[in-house]
Structures are given as structure tokens and as C-alpha cells.
Structure 1
Amino acid sequence: MTTMVHLPKQGLNRYGILRILTLMIFMALLSALLFIAAGRIDWVWGWVYVGLYVAILTINGIFLIAKNPELVNVRGQPRSDTKGWDKVFVWVAALPWLAIPVVAGLDVRYGWSVPMNLNLHFAGIIVFVLGNLLAFSAVLENRHFETTVRIQQDRGHQVITTGPYRFVRHPGYVGVILTMIGTPLILGTWWAFVPGALVMVAILYRTVREDRTLRRELAGYAEYAQRTRSRLLPGIW
């Protein structure tokens, strides 16, 4: 295991503010795509989804800024040592991610999907919230939870084995996958599972590549992987 490096606590800097602005722009874009594609603004489940997402991001952001503003800063800072394959991944994965609100909106506009039972909408809310809670618990536990894959030599990169990392090696990605399942259910569109599934495949790919990188380059990770054998699903994979 690597040695804990204690860095002085700092407040938000320009990169942290940039990160917050980026998330605000992302939510504005997602909302615009959703309702423009639907061709209407009186879509109840569309507003439920947007409102829930905004509330979760806001609450998570407040907690993270209070506990670890440094992580907000580094998540907004471009990194030249990001792995080359991950630079490509970020842009490729963004396409199906942004396609979800477009497909969902078009489905609502043209009625492609068979209407969902109300219970499925509520199940989607539960899955979506649980996914976000799991992802955020991973972020809170792991001070190295940046947005791109790199070995953080400048930040005393170490293996995290506590919290949700006791059970799987990539709990944040498990949370993202759950949100990809919950989103189409909240919106009531079966077709949105298509781009959602593409995002999930992309997450699986990144999990494999990131895990290989950490095994090879991060001291102590190979030993951690021997003890915590599952990447995403305990006892399965």
C-alpha cells in the first residue's frame, strides 16, 4: 500500500468553479434536448426526471464542496497525463449519453413505446436515486476520484479500500449503470434503453481498461484486487 499524503485543505479555485459551471451547462443541455425532442413542455415525467437530477446534483455538490473542495477543483482541471485511450473514450461515450434524452423525447412525441405501468416509473426513481447515492458514496470515499484515468503522482495516489470499495473495485461505475437503468423507467420510454445500454457497454470497457492500468501502474492495487476480486458485481465479475 502507498503512504497517505496529507495535502493542505483548500477552497474552490477557478477549476472548481469551472466544474460547477460545466455541470450546470450539462443539465441545461440535457433538459433542452429532452423537451425539444418531445416537442412539448407539459411532460410530467420529463420534469420529474430533470427535477430529481438537479436536486441530486445540487445536494451532492454541497456535500462534496463542504468535505473535499480539492476534489471538485481537480475534477474541473484538464490533465495532460490522462491516458490516451481515455481521452477518446470521454468523447465517444458522450454521444450515447446525450442520445438518451433525444431518444426519450422522440419516443414520447411519436409514441413508439408501449405505455409503462406507473409502478415502473416509481421503480425507476428508486433505482436512479440508489445509483446516484452509490456513485456519490464512492466519490466521497475516494479523494482520487477524478473524471479521467491517470496515475495521480502529483496527488499522492493511493489505493482506496474502505467504504463501498470493500465490496467492489469500481463502485462508482456500478452507480452509473444503475442510473442508466433508472432513467428510461422514470421517463417511461423503452427505446431510451438502447442508448442507455451503449453507455453501459462503454462503462464496462472503461472498467476493464482502467483496472488494467491500475494493476500495472498503481502500487498496492494488484494486492487489493486479490482481496477484493469483483470489479462491479460481487461474486460475479
Structure 2
Amino acid sequence: MKLAVQTATSIVLGLGFFGLVLFLPAGTFHYWQAWVFVAVFAVSTFVPSVYLAVRHPDALARRMKAGPKAETRPVQRVIITATFLAGIAVMVISALDWRFGWSSVPLWLVISGDVMVGVGLLGAQLVVVQNNYAGASITVEEGQPLVSTGLYGIVRHPMYAASLIMMLGTPPALGSLWGLTAVLAAVPVLMARLLDEEKALTDDLAGYAEYTRQVRYRLIPGVW
């Protein structure tokens, strides 16, 4: 029951958050791109959350523990704060771009952006299904197994790869190209989090060093 209340509260707060960072800078509720984006976001997170609540409640509980206070490593508290601010910047700039017409985004690109958002969010949820210990904060629990199959057999950090797809799709989904500048600014922050996480996993998770030699790429297959 407690987990269900936390999940429902998170969804309600999330919708309120979107209202502030999308419709307020847009200056109107007549912003269909934002409504479609919110709908895609809601469906892509709510349905998998219900599945996790039924089949993997422990995994969902780990995902609910997020934010700077949930981090045990001081550097990650700074990084996660910067990541949160970057996410806000992406949406605010995109909404302002739409409002003032700084760029023109065709319908097909808006739809493509929404598809990327949905794929990224669903991909992140699939990571949690494949690795129940994939929480929102960087911790290694006692008895935690090393997962090296599925998406983890393609890149070492599929959760971040999925997040990157979602981030890249957000500006065009919101009818903006200028919002991509904020995404580019957020990439180094994402990389810093990823590299520091690898240090923690190498130190604390048995077999991780060998895993990094087997799966060469961290984020993008064939690139990095």
C-alpha cells in the first residue's frame, strides 16, 4: 500500500511539474505538442510502474529512491542536481522556443521525437526488469548479482543510453530545435555520472572489472 501511494504521489507531482516547466513558459495551455508529450510520458511510465508494482515491487521501490539525498557518494549529489537542472532547462527552452517561434519543427519530426521519448522511457523500464537492482541512485547492495545479458550485453549502461534517447527526443517532441542545445550541455554531466558509477561498481560489485573487458562500450555501441 505504501509503495502504491508513493507511486501515485510521484505521478501527480510529475504532472504538476510538467505544468510548471512546459505550460508556464509557453504562456498557454493551447500547446498540443506539450500535451502529446505529457501523454506519452505518462503512459510510458505508468503502465510499466504498475507492472513493476505487481511483479517486481522491490525494483520499483529502488526506482522511487531518487534525488540528491538518496546518493551515498558526495560527487553524485552534485551531478544528480546538475542533471535535474539540465532536464528542466531542456523543457523550458523548448517551450520558450515554441512560444516565440525561434525554430520550425515539422509534424513528422514532432512525432519522431515522441517515439524517441516513448522508446527511451520504455527502454529504461526494461532495464529494471532485466536488472532489479538498477535503482535511481548509485548503490551496491549485499548479494547484488552482476547482470551481463540482455541490454547489458550491448552496452554497460543501458539505463543511461535509454535516458539519452529520451532526452534527444524531448525538444523535437515539444516543437523545438533550440532545446537540443540544453541536451548537448547535459551530456557531459551524464558522462560524469556514468564514469563515477563505474568506479563504484568496479570497487564494490564482484566481477564488474571483467565485465568491462567483455562489454567494451559504455553508452553508444561502436562509439563509446
TM beyond 0.5: yes
Structure 2 equivalent of residue 216 of structure 1: 203
Whole-angstrom CA distance in 2 between matches of 1:119 and 1:169: 32
Residue of 182, 204, 221 corresponding to 2:191: 204
The TM-score, its normalising length taken from structure 1, stands at 0.86
Residues of 1 paired with 2:182 and 2:71: CA distance?
A: 30
Q: TM-score, normalised by structure 2?
A: 0.91
What is the alpha-carbon distance in structure 2 between the residues aligned to residue 91 and residue 221 of structure 1? 27
> Which residue does 2:174 correspond to in 1?
187
C-alpha contact (below 8 Å) 1:180/1:199 kept by paired residues: no
RMSD (CA atoms):
1.9
Determine the structure 2 residue equivalent to 1:177: 164
Q: Judging changes above 3 Å, is the alpha-carbon distance between structure 1 residues 54 and 80 closer, same or farther for their aligned structure 2 residues?
A: closer
> Of 147, 155, 164, which aligns to 1:160?
147
Q: Which has the larger radius of gyration?
A: 1
Q: Percent identity?
A: 27
In the alignment, residue 82 of structure 1 is paired with which amino acid? T
Q: What residue number does 2:94 align with?
A: 104
Deviations 1:108-127 (CA, angstroms, capped at 9, x unpaired): 222222x1122211221222
Distance 2:5 2:61 in 1: 8
Gaps of 5+ in 1: 1-11
Question: Does the 8 Å contact 1:60/1:136 carry over to 2?
Answer: yes
Asked if 2 retains the 8 angstrom alpha-carbon contact of 1:16 and 1:76, the reply is no
Letter in 2 for 1:37: P
Q: Alignment length, in residue pairs?
A: 222
Letter in 1 for 2:94: A
Letter aligned with residue 47 of structure 1? W
**Structure that is richer in helix per residue:** 2
Task: For 1:134-145, list aligned pairs within 5 A.
Answer: 134-145=123-134
Contact 2:62/2:134 (8 A) holds in 1:
no
Structure-2 change in CA distance of 1:70 and 1:107 (3 Å):
same
Divergent runs of 4+, >4 A: 77-81
Alpha-carbon deviation of 1:193? 1.0
From 55, 72, 75, the equivalent of 1:67 is 55
- Taking a change above 3 Å as real, the CA distance of residues 18 and 174 of structure 1, as seen in their structure-2 partners, is same
Question: How many Å separate the matches in 2 of 1:218 and 1:209?
Answer: 14
One of 196, 213, 220 as aligned partner of 1:226: 213
**Displacement of 1:51:** 1.0
Compute the displacement of 1:32 (Å).
2.6
Distance 2:22 2:157 in 1: 29
